[in-house]
Amino acid sequence: MFWPGKISKKLNIEYPVIQAPMFGASTPEMAAAASKASCLGSLAIADLSGEVSIQLMRETKRLTDKPFAVNIFVHKIAEITDALKDQYTKTKRFIEDLAGRNNIEIDLPELTDIKVNTYHEQIDAVIEEKCRILSFTFGNIDDESIQKLKENRIILIGTCTSVGEALELEKSGIDLICVQGIEAGGHRGSFEADDIPQIGGLSLFSEVYDSVNVPLIYAGGIYNAKTIRAAKELGAEGFQVGSMLLASRESALQNFEKERLKHIHEKDIMLTKSFSGRYARGVKNKFIEALENSEYILPYPYQNKLTGILRKAARSAKNTEFVNLWVGQSIHQYSESSAEDILKNLIRSCK
C-alpha cells in the first residue's frame, strides 16, 4: 500500500493528505471539499475572536460531517510601549501616503482602535464546538491549555521549522508535528517572529525524523506524486498541500489574483514581513518593495491589522500591487477545479 496508515487512523480519514490552513485563501468550502476527497480539511481561524471562530466552525460543520482541523495562531502579542506608539504613527502615515500616491484612498485605524485576540478564547470555542482536531502555528500552546484540550480528547497538531521546535512540541505531548520547510508558502510556523530558521524542507524533515518519536507531516513544495514520494521516502506519515489549491473553485482568492498566479516566476517569490510583521512567502509587488527592510514594519499582529484595510481596498480595485498573495516556491499549473477533484487527482497519481 502506498499511503502510510498511522496518521490516517488517528485522524479517522482515508488518506493522510491535509489541506493546508491558508488564512485569507482557504474557506469552509475548501475544508469540506478536502473532506469529500477523503483527506483532512483545515479551517483557518488565525487570530479571530472566539465568536467569529464559532461561526466559521458551525459553517464548516454544516458543509461536512467528516473530521476537519481547526487552525489557530499561537503568537506573542507585543506590549504597547511609547516606542511602539511612535512607530505605529510613522508607519500609518507612510502607508497612507504610499496608498494615496497610487490612487488608493484609505483611512487607517489608530493604534487604540485595534483589537487583538489571544488564542485562549479560540481554544474555548474549539472545545465548545466539540471539534476534535486542533492545529496551530507560530509557537507552542501553554501547558494549561494543552491539558484542557487533552481532557476533551482533542488531537493536537503543532508546527515546527527547526529541530529545537520539534523537540519542544514533543516534550509538551503534542500528538502530531507538521514539519514546514522554508519553501512553503505563506507564514512561517517559527516560534520566533524575527529569528526564523531558513532550512529546506527535505533537510529539515530528515533531521526532525531522527530527533523525535512523534508521527510527522511534511509541508512545503508538495504539488505532485514525485514530491509526495520524496517526503514519504524520508519517513513522512502525512502530507500537507497548500499552494496547489490556491486557484481552486473554493479558494477565497479573486479572479484577478488567480490570474496573477498563472504568470509568476521563481524570481517573483520572496519572504517578507511587510504585510503582517511576520515572515511569509509570497509574490513580490510594489508594496513589498516599498516596505521591505524599512523602518515601517510593526511587530505582528499590529502590522497585519494596520495593512488589512489597504489590502481590502486594493482587492476591491483589483490591484495586485497592494495585496498579499502568499505562495510557495514550487511553481506549477494552478488548477481552477474543485479542491476535491485536485486532491483526488493527486491521490490517484500516487498509486
- Enter the C-alpha cell of residue 190: 517559527
Residues of the chain above pLDDT 90, percent: 96
Residues in the chain: 351
Q: What is the C-alpha separation between 340 and 320, in angstroms, rounded?
A: 27
pLDDT beneath 70, residues of the chain: none
Q: Hey, what domains does the chain have and what are their CATH numbers? A: 1-77+116-245+335-351 (3.20.20.70), 78-115+265-326 (no CATH)
Model pLDDT for residues 64-94, shown as the tens digit of each residue: 999 999 999 998 898 999 999 999 999 999 9
- For the stretch 26-58, what's the b/e string if a residue is b when 16 or more beta carbons lie within 10 angstroms of its beta carbon? bbbbbbbbbbbbbbbbbbbbbbbebeebbebbe
- pTM (global) more than 0.95: yes
